[in-house]
Structures are given as C-alpha cells and as structure tokens.
Amino acid sequence: MQITTSAAPWWQHSVCYEIYVRSFADGNGDGVGDLVGIEQRLPYLADLGVDSVWLTPFYPSPQHDHGYDVADYRDVDPLFGTLADFDAMLATAHDLGIRVIVDVVPNHTSSEHPWFHEALAAAPGSPARDRYVFRDGTGRNGERPPNNWVSVFGGPAWTRVPDGQWYLHLFDSQQPDLNWWNDEVHAELDDVLRFWLDRGVDGFRVDVAHGLYKQPDLVPRKRGDRLPHPMWDQPEVHEVYRRWRKLLDSYDGDRMAVAEACAGTPEAMARYIRPDELQQTFNFTWLEAPWSAAAFRKVVVDTFASVGLVGGTPTWVLSNHDVVRESTRYGGGPAGVARAKAAALTMLALPGSSYLYQGEELGLEQVDVPPHLRQDPAYHRGAEPEGRDGCRVPMPWSGDTAPYGFGTGEPWLPMPDDWAGLTVEAQQADEHSTLQFFRRALRLRREVTVGLPDQVQLLDSAPGTFAFRRGDLVCVVSCGSRTARLPDVAGELLLASGDGVADGRIAPDTAAWFRAR
Ligand code: BGC
C-alpha cells in the first residue's frame, strides 16, 4: 500500500502507536525486543489499523534509563539491531502505509557519550565541559552541590566528579544535562535530526521538550516556589523549536515533531505548538484524569481551549511507558478493562491525533514486577515507589506460557503466568476480545470520521455520562454506576465498547458511537 497524501497533513488525525522497543517483539532470542522483531510484527499493526508508530530510543546506550540515555545519536544499539535493520524496518512500514516517528533526547546524553568522556578528561572551564552544566560546589571546600535542585528521579540533581566540580542531571546521574547555551549543542542536535530525516523518518517525539535551557544563574528553589521554574520551560527553548520547524519543513512529506512538554499552564503548553513551532504536544490531561464523566468533559473543554489559543490541533493520550496502565488506574479487573475500552472509544471520536501505547489494544493491566527485578532508575532513586517497569512488560503474542511468542529467550522482565488468554493469537480468535474491539474501532474511525468537522459540540446528557457530537457522529460514555438514558440525538448504533447499549440506554463502564438522528 502506498502512503497517500491529502490536503491535511497526515499527523493531524493519525492514530499513532507507541512501540516500547525493548518490549514489543524479540527477533533474535536474547529476551529484549529489537528492530527485526518490530519489522516482523508490522503487518499486525497495519491490520490493527494504526497510521503511524513512535519508536522509543534504540540508539547505542548503556541502558541505564532503557535508551533515554543516548551514547550515540546516529546509530543503533547492537541490542536492538543495526542501521540496516532500521532501514529495512522503515521501508516495510512505509510499504504498509505506516509512518514512523523516532525519539530524540535533546535534554541530556548518556554519561557514556564521547562528549561526556571528553568533559571528564578536560579541565574545569574548558570547552569540553561547557557542553554540559558543570559548576563548582558550595560550602567551604565545594563539598556541597551548587544549588538545591532535585532530580526528577529523586535525590540531588548534581553529581561530583573527582576534580571537585559538579555536573547537573535532571534525571539519573548517568544522564548529564546538555548546556543549551552552547552553540555546539544546537549544531549537533540539528545534525542528528537531519541524519534521521535523511534516512526517511516521518518525524520525532521530543523527549523532555520543556527542558534543555536552565536559568544560567541556576537560582536555588525555595519551598513552595511557583512558576517560573528555573529548570523548565525557559523562553529560549522556543527558538530551538522554531529552528527545528524550519528544518522539518525543508523536507518533503509533512515531517513532524510531537513534544513531550510539561509546562505549568494551558497557555504555556500551547506555546510549543504555535504555527512556527512543533506540530503537536502530548496532552497528558486525560492520562491524569480519573474515571469520571465530569473529568472527561473538563479534559475535552480545556484541551480545545488550550490548542485554540494558537490554532493548533489536539492530541489525546491515555497511557505510555511512564505511567500505570489505564485499565489499572480505572480500577483494574474486568471493570478496569471495560472502562479503558470506553475511554479509548471516546478519545478516538475526537478531532486530532490519538496515541495508543502497545498492549492497550490487548487490555493489558499493570504488572506487579517483584521489587528485586525492577530496573527503572526512578524506582531505584526513590521518585517512583513502584517503578515504571509494570507497564513495560513484554507483549504477549501467542502460546500458553511465558514468553508467549515475544521471542525465544528469557524476557528481560518476567511475564505473568495468566496471560495466555490475552495474547494476540488468542484475541484474534475471539470476536469479543479487546483486540477485535480496537480493530473495529480503528477501522470505523477511518470510515466515519473522514471529513468530519474539527469542532465538537458538547451535549446535555444524563448524570454520570459525557456526550458530544462531531458532525453526524455522536459519542456517549457512561462513567456512572447505573444504566443511563441516551441523548435523543443518538440514532443508529455504530459501535459500542460493551454489550450494554439498548432501548435508548447505556450501561455503566461503556462508550458508544451513534449516527446522529
Ligand atoms: C521519558 C522517560 C525518561 C525521561 C528521561 C521521559 O520523558 O518518557 O521514559 O525516563 O524522559 O529521558
């Protein structure tokens, strides 16, 4: 299948599937997912009906933060394959009509990056140190960190090197922050983008996009400090994205970037998607919302208000590799999965682009990984009491026992004993499975949302429900505890996430699409 172009850029309404590379499919039997494994499973994603995939970092890395610690931005880690494997995977994806976006990690490198080795070998004040944020310490002998900033992963954001200076790391100590006040850093990252664009990627997911610049005087934080924050969302960062936008636009094919930005206000978030900046920013408000019709309504209203400030298009995200899976957040068990399906169907009716996280289509729940097997640095540094490993357990593809067709080796995280019924194989054979529901939803989305307006009209609806209309598509989600009356405008039923839609009523934990009367 060829990728067709229409008037609207492809990313505006795409369903993008996040592939957590080390957990998707293991092609070489070492227990870790890889590019060959991804390529083999791309037909599955085409059949599922996604428009694009986002690949988490597969670059050479000591894997202290599973690839978000990059030692070489222009190659593939042998754990995941080779550049030739990448090219082959990309070509297959494009043949199947699937766009591919890759992660770029501009806030920090790995401590194994050659630049950081050079910095450690060089003297304080040297150009090599200036690519990172090195400072003298405080206290009589510089034995205390330069300021009181705290790492996102827990503990101080500074680590001391043998000659007594300290370097900044907003994440793990093996992820030193780059100094974006240094032009060489700009030139390097521009070149990295070009490297992957030249290979044919369709875009980037920009890790920690609100990071990069830190206030140069590194002011300490005071207890209860409100914005502006000295570590995040500095005004200068927008100049970077203006330049990156020009760079993206200099290529054909609507190349794009989606920012993982966490700025304090809707206005601050909208700044990342001004017409001359990045095309999208992840909208994490739904991912943070409880299972509640009122909360969902507020998410939709606030999102349109935010993107409307700059004429941007919304994105919708229920989960990713950093958070507890939504089926578990919504209560777990059959009700949790039913709610997750309902939330997904609601999200997929909305204008804009939806991001799915691998395993969401199987109704996977968070796994309780035994503490001694947890690998997440945020767990080991204390910021994440459970760690993020529980949403990163490898995908179950087939068979009755672990590793369920993920590969032939022992998977890098243990897979639950009771996943036989959740494998792709098992769910493909069951018309009523969560996977078949997602397939139907994505197919129907392609059929019925083409040409629909980019605005929604919120509808008055029964207590505990949230309903809206987009052109002649009506979507209703019921988060209440009892069966509720459907709005009168809900005509022919197109698809429901559960059985309980009949006689003008919708059961709890269910969403449905209707043709408007
Ligand atoms: C990524 C995380 C990673 C962190 C540091 C995040 O936004 O999604 O998985 O640990 O950035 O790079």
The 10s digit of each residue's pLDDT in 181-197 is: 999 999 999 999 999 99
Topology of the domain comprising 456-516: Immunoglobulin-like (2.60.40)
- What whole-number distance in Å separates Cα of residue 403 and Cα of residue 33? 12
Residue 228 has pLDDT above 70, yes or no: no
Q: Residues enclosing ligand 1, CB less than 6 A?
A: 65, 68, 105, 171, 207-208, 260, 321-322
Distance 67 CA to ligand 1 centre (A): 9
CATH number for the domain formed by residue range(s) 108-177 = 3.90.400.10
Ligand 1: residue whose CA is nearest its atom 4: 68
The 10s digit of each residue's pLDDT in 471-481 is: 999 999 999 99
* Of 68, 69, 169, 319, best ligand 1 pocket probe by most atoms within 8 Å of the beta carbon: 68
Ligand 1: residue whose CA is nearest its atom 8: 322
Residue 269 has pLDDT above 50, yes or no: yes
Residue 448 to residues 48, 289, 317, 462, 470, Cα–Cα distance (Å): 17, 27, 21, 25, 11
The more confidently predicted of residues 4 and 150 is: 150
Strands 158-160 and 166-168 turn out to be antiparallel
User: Does the reported pTM lie above 0.95?
Assistant: yes
Sheet strands (E) in 338-456: 353-357
- What whole-number distance in Å separates Cα of residue 93 and Cα of residue 243? 28
**Cis peptide, bond prior to residue 228, ω within 30 of zero:** yes
Backbone angles phi, psi at 200, to 5 degrees: 110, 10
Max intra-chain CA distance, the chain:
77
- What whole-number distance in Å separates Cα of residue 255 and Cα of residue 248? 6
Backbone angles phi, psi at 390, to 5 degrees: -65, -20
Q: Of all atoms in ligand 1, which is nearest to the CA of residue 107?
A: 12
Ligand 1: residue whose CA is nearest its atom 3: 68
The 10s digit of each residue's pLDDT in 358-370 is: 999 999 999 999 9
Residue 1 has pLDDT above 60, yes or no: no
Residue 179 has pLDDT above 90, yes or no: yes
State the CATH class of domain 10-107+184-437. Answer: alpha beta
Q: What is the pLDDT of residue 221?
A: 78
Distance 207 CA to ligand 1 centre (A): 6
Q: Of all atoms in ligand 1, which is nearest to the CA of residue 208?
A: 7
Ligand 1: residue whose CA is nearest its atom 1: 207
Burial 42-75 (b: 16+ CB within 10 A, else e): bebbbebbbbbbbbbbbbbbebbbbbbbbbbbee
Sheet strands (E) in 334-403: 353-357
Q: What is the pLDDT of residue 264?
A: 85
Catalytic residues: 207, 260
- What whole-number distance in Å separates Cα of residue 132 and Cα of residue 136? 13
Q: How confident is the model at residue 6 (pLDDT cuts 50, 70, 90)?
A: low
Distance 199 CA to ligand 1 centre (A): 24
**Spatial strand order in the sheet of 490-496:** 457-459, 465-470, 473-478, 510-516, 490-496
Average pLDDT over residues 45-62: 98
- What whole-number distance in Å separates Cα of residue 20 and Cα of residue 36? 14
Average pLDDT over residues 212-219: 90
Q: What is the pLDDT of residue 216?
A: 86
Averaged pLDDT score across all residues of the chain: 96
Distance 65 CA to ligand 1 centre (A): 8
**Residues facing residue 495 across a β-bridge:** 513
Share of the chain above pLDDT 70, in %: 98
**Given the structure tokens 């919504």, which residue do they identify?**
330
Burial 81-105 (b: 16+ CB within 10 A, else e): beeebbeebbebbbeeebbbbbbbb
Q: What is the pLDDT of residue 226?
A: 61
Distance 68 CA to ligand 1 centre (A): 6
Average pLDDT over residues 268-272: 96
Listed by start position, the domains of the chain span: 10-107+184-437, 108-177, 456-516
- What whole-number distance in Å separates Cα of residue 389 and Cα of residue 380? 11
- What whole-number distance in Å separates Cα of residue 133 and Cα of residue 218? 10
- 374-382: list long-range contacts, CB under 8 Å, 24+ apart: 375/66, 375/412, 375/413, 377/64, 377/65, 377/153, 377/171, 377/172, 377/174, 378/152, 378/153, 378/154, 381/151, 381/153, 381/154, 381/155, 381/172, 382/153, 382/154, 382/155
Q: Of all atoms in ligand 1, which is nearest to the CA of residue 207?
A: 7
Written as one letter, the residue type at 102 is V
**Cis peptide, bond prior to residue 290, ω within 30 of zero:** no
- What whole-number distance in Å separates Cα of residue 497 and Cα of residue 426? 19
Sheet strands (E) in 375-451: none
Residue 5 has pLDDT above 60, yes or no: no
The 10s digit of each residue's pLDDT in 436-448 is: 999 999 999 999 9
Burial class (CB in 10 A: 0-12, 13-18, 19+), 129: buried
